[in-house]
Structure 1
Amino acid sequence: MILLVDDTPENLISLKKVLESHNFEVDTASSGKEALKKVLKNSYVLIILDVQMPEMDGFEVAEAISGYSKAKDTAIIFLSAANTDFKFIEKGYSSGALDYITKPVSINLLLLKIKTFYRIYEQSRKLNEMQKTLLAEIETRKNAESKKDEFMSIASHELKTPLTSIKGYMQLLERSIDKGDIEIVKKHLNKAKLQIEKLNGLIADLLDVSKIDSGKLKFNKQLFSVDTLTDNILEVIQQSNPTFKIEKIGNANCEIFADEMRIEQVIVNFLTNAIKYSPNADRAQLKVDVIDDKLFVSVKDFGLGMLPEQQKQVFEKFYRIEETSHRFQGLGIGLYISAEIIRRHDGEIGVRSEYGNGSEFYFSIPINQPQ
């Protein structure tokens, strides 16, 4: 918007009409004081300012405007009939004016200058936006890189831990075999097997992240019973964690067309997290329901809970809650993979949590997906 400042009403009216006829948005002020009030309230791209005005001349107005942080970069064009000497023109430019035009004004010349300024202003605005975008992109990349470096360090540690354990159990097995102690051999074999399964899970998660990033995560959708799936999951989880009670609430009583293995992966992730992050609790709830042709599944724990800002980031790649990262193992990618799986089933995933009072992770997906 352009602000015209002139103490002569006919000058304001005539110039305003001309500018508006060329599709410029125009505001007016009949004195320096009125102009300053308007500059404080509104944002202007350009101010066309008469030099010779009573009480407060154009130079004084320009100096006052330069002191306003909001308008200090607003361009000013001076118009003057009386002060046409070079010293006044020099003063106009030194006060920060874009131009100093003497009256009588050539309307065509003034329009040309205004259009040129608007073009420069628009280019400058776009360059500033590009600069802000680039700076934001640089900052984002630095933070991705930072998370990636942290992830690589964590991944190396997490992969090394089961490998070290497997190596130790193999050494124990050699000694036990030499002694012929079959029961101890079986015990060490079972422990080594658990570490191998853990290692296999970590590698599978890493491969899934790589597939997501490259757009190659594949799905094999078919009809299956939701209740059979959840019952099987609970049986396996309970066998692995006999002291932890998982209560199932509700049933789906239907089949769903989806990738059974991937949906199992999400539910298992929810349940294992519920166990992991509930060091002082011994129970969790698995809720299953169907509402409006959508399957709803949630896992509620009674553990540590999360702060609101943590809930916003928990499904991001490599995210680990800082205050618990030293207490609990993990790569920070399980929930990221789960979110991608649910998204690829046209579903929704989320969490409700209260710090210190547990969390409830949930997802919903349409039952009747295109086959």
Structure 2
Amino acid sequence: MILIVDDTPENLISLKKVLEKHDFEVDTASSGEEALRKVLRNEYVLIILDVQMPGMDGFEVAEAISGYSKAKETAIIFLSAANTETRFITKGYSSGGLDYITKPVDMSVLLLKVKTFYRIYEQSRKLIEIQTALLEEIEFRKQAEYKKDEFISIASHELKTPLTSVKGYVQLLERSIDKGDVQTVKKHLLKAQTQLEKLNNLIADLLDISKIESGKLKFNKQNFYIGDLLKNLVEVMSHSFPDYKIVINGQVKSCIFGDEMRIEQVIINFLTNAIKYSPGTSEVVINVREENERIYLGVRDYGIGIAPEQQKSLFEKFYRVEETALHFQGLGIGLYISAEIIRRHGGTVGVQSTLGEGAEFYFEIPLISPPEID
């Protein structure tokens, strides 16, 4: 928008009409004081400023405007009928003006200058936008690289831990076999098997994230009943975590079209996280319901909960909550993989949590999954 400042009404009207005829948005002020009030409230690309005015003259107005942080970059063109000497023109430039035009004004010249200033303004704005976007991209890439390096370090540690444990149990097995202690052999075998299963799960997650990155994560979608899936899943999980009671709240009678194995993978991830992050508790609730041709499934725990500022990042790749990373193991990719699986079923994931009161991780998917979501 352009602001015209002139104490002569005829000048304001004639300039305004000419500029509006050429599709410029125009505002006017009849004094320096009024101009300053408007500059405080509005943003202007250009100010066309009369030099000779009662009260504050044009030079004083320009100097005052240059002191406003949001208006100091605004272009100013001085107009003057009397002050045409070099010293006045010089003062105009030193007061913050970018041009000084003497009256009577050649409208074609003024229009050309206005269009030039507008073009410069648009180019400057685009350059600033590009610069801002580049800085954001650089910062984003730095944070990706940082998370990637951190992930590699964590992955190395997480993979090494079960391997070291298996190696230790194998050495104990050798000694127990030599002694003929069958019970101890069975005990060490069971512990080694547990560590190998953990290692297998870690490798599976790494393979899944690699497939996601390369666009090769495959889905085998068919009809299944989520009620049957949950019943079998709770039975298996109860054997693995006998100290926890897993309760199913609600039911879904309709058949779902999707990848049963991948949906099961998401629910297992939610359940294992719920148990992991709720030490000292003994119950996890699966809330499930059908509404508007969609399935809602949430896993509710009564554990440590998650701070609001951390919730928005939980499903990002490699993200781990700093406070919990010190106490709980994990690669920080399970929720990212889960989110991708649900997205590929045309659904959404989310979390509701209050710090210190537990959390409910949930997903919603349509009863009939779209054939392909890229």
Same fold (TM over 0.5): yes
Q: Deviations over 1:248-290 (max 9, x none)?
A: 2233233211101100000101111111011110111122222
2:116 paired residue number: 116
SS of corresponding position for 2:76: strand
Q: Deviations over 1:104-162 (max 9, x none)?
A: 11111110111111111100000001101111111111111111111111111111100
1:180 Cα deviation from its structure 2 partner: 2.1
SS of corresponding position for 1:110: helix
2:190 paired residue number: 190
Q: Deviations over 1:288-331 (max 9, x none)?
A: 22222222211111111111112211111111111111111011
1:85 paired residue number: 85
1:204 paired residue number: 204
1:179 paired residue number: 179
2:67 paired residue number: 67
- C-alpha distance in 2 between matches for 1:290 and 1:31: 67
2:320 paired residue number: 320
Give matches, 1:21-170, under 5 Å.
Answer: 21-170=21-170
SS of corresponding position for 2:312: helix
- C-alpha distance in 2 between matches for 1:43 and 1:254: 58
Q: Deviations over 1:27-77 (max 9, x none)?
A: 111111111111111111000011111222111111111111121111100
Q: Deviations over 1:167-203 (max 9, x none)?
A: 1111111112222222222221111111111111111
- C-alpha distance in 2 between matches for 1:177 and 1:232: 37
- C-alpha distance in 2 between matches for 1:127 and 1:43: 19
2:353 paired residue number: 353
1:222 Cα deviation from its structure 2 partner: 1.0
- C-alpha distance in 2 between matches for 1:344 and 1:290: 19
Of 78-87 and 212-221, deviating more is: 212-221
2:364 paired residue number: 364
- C-alpha distance in 1 between matches for 2:345 and 2:220: 11
- C-alpha distance in 2 between matches for 1:260 and 1:23: 60
- C-alpha distance in 2 between matches for 1:342 and 1:282: 28
- C-alpha distance in 2 between matches for 1:259 and 1:59: 73
1:370 Cα deviation from its structure 2 partner: 4.7
Of 178-187 and 124-133, deviating more is: 178-187
Which residue identity is paired with 1:323?
E
1:236 paired residue number: 236
- C-alpha distance in 1 between matches for 2:225 and 2:33: 77
Which residue identity is paired with 2:139?
E
Which residue identity is paired with 1:114?
V
- C-alpha distance in 2 between matches for 1:306 and 1:331: 18
- C-alpha distance in 2 between matches for 1:370 and 1:329: 35
Give matches, 1:245-264, under 5 Å.
Answer: 245-264=245-264
1:369 Cα deviation from its structure 2 partner: 3.1
TM-score, normalization by structure 2: 0.96
- C-alpha distance in 1 between matches for 2:353 and 2:177: 50
Report the RMSD for the aligned CA atoms in angstroms: 1.2
Query: Structure 2, unaligned stretches of length 5 or more?
Result: none
Is 1:267 paired with 2:267? yes
SS of corresponding position for 1:313: coil
- C-alpha distance in 2 between matches for 1:112 and 1:341: 58
TM-score, normalization by structure 1: 0.97
Q: Deviations over 1:197-218 (max 9, x none)?
A: 1111111111111222222211
Which runs of structure 1 show a deviation greater than 6 angstroms over 4 or more consecutive aligned residues?
A: none
Which residue identity is paired with 1:348?
T
- C-alpha distance in 1 between matches for 2:367 and 2:357: 32
1:293 paired residue number: 293
Which residue identity is paired with 2:256?
I
1:310 paired residue number: 310
- C-alpha distance in 2 between matches for 1:79 and 1:288: 73
8 Å CA contact 2:345, 2:370 repeated in 1: no
8 Å CA contact 2:258, 2:368 repeated in 1: no
State, as a whole percentage, how many aligned pairs show the same letter.
Answer: 71
- C-alpha distance in 1 between matches for 2:304 and 2:332: 17
Which residue identity is paired with 1:99?
D
